[in-house]
Amino acid sequence: TSWRPNKHFDFRFLRFAFRKVLLEKLAHKLGSSFLKLKNQIYKDHPDGFYVRAKPNLCSPDITIKYISRYLGRPVIAASRIDSYDGDSVTFHYTRHEDHKTVTECLPVIDFIKRLIIHIPDKH
């Protein structure tokens, strides 16, 4: 199979798929109490949920190199962790929406929870 260039991707599918998967997972977690809100969300968002997807401006080879660069790296660089006092972790990151630096201070357990969601299920 060879790579076929495609200049267009219909993101409507991605918006609908993301909405469906997210709401189904929430419904599974929250049970019947979520049903009314779930139905309302479908009514309020008939075009699906916004999905931030930048245009692909490079070749498949460059994309593969970019992705593979991050396979062996940690979720957060040590340089982004500003302090740790035994109870909480203060860290910073750049928010994608507005490119502003955000500083957060979380209890250690919440910080760890945010890290482990990036660990693949098989591990």
The pLDDT assigned to 48 comes to 87
Q: Which helix (H) or strand (E) holds 44?
A: helix 35-44
pLDDT tens string, the chain, 123 residues long: the values are 677 776 666 777 888 888 999 999 999 999 999 999 999 999 999 988 887 766 666 677 776 776 666 666 777 888 999 999 989 999 999 988 899 999 999 999 999 888 877 665 543
What whole-number distance in Å separates Cα of residue 58 and Cα of residue 79?
Answer: 29
Distance CA 49, CA 95 (A): 19
CA 75, CA 66: separation in Å to the nearest integer?
15
pLDDT of residue 34: 92
What pLDDT score does 118 carry?
67
Query: What pLDDT, on the 0 to 100 scale, is given for residue 97?
Result: 87
Angle at 52 between CA 46 and CA 56, to 5 degrees: 125
State the Cα–Cα distance between residues 88 and 36, nearest whole angstrom: 37
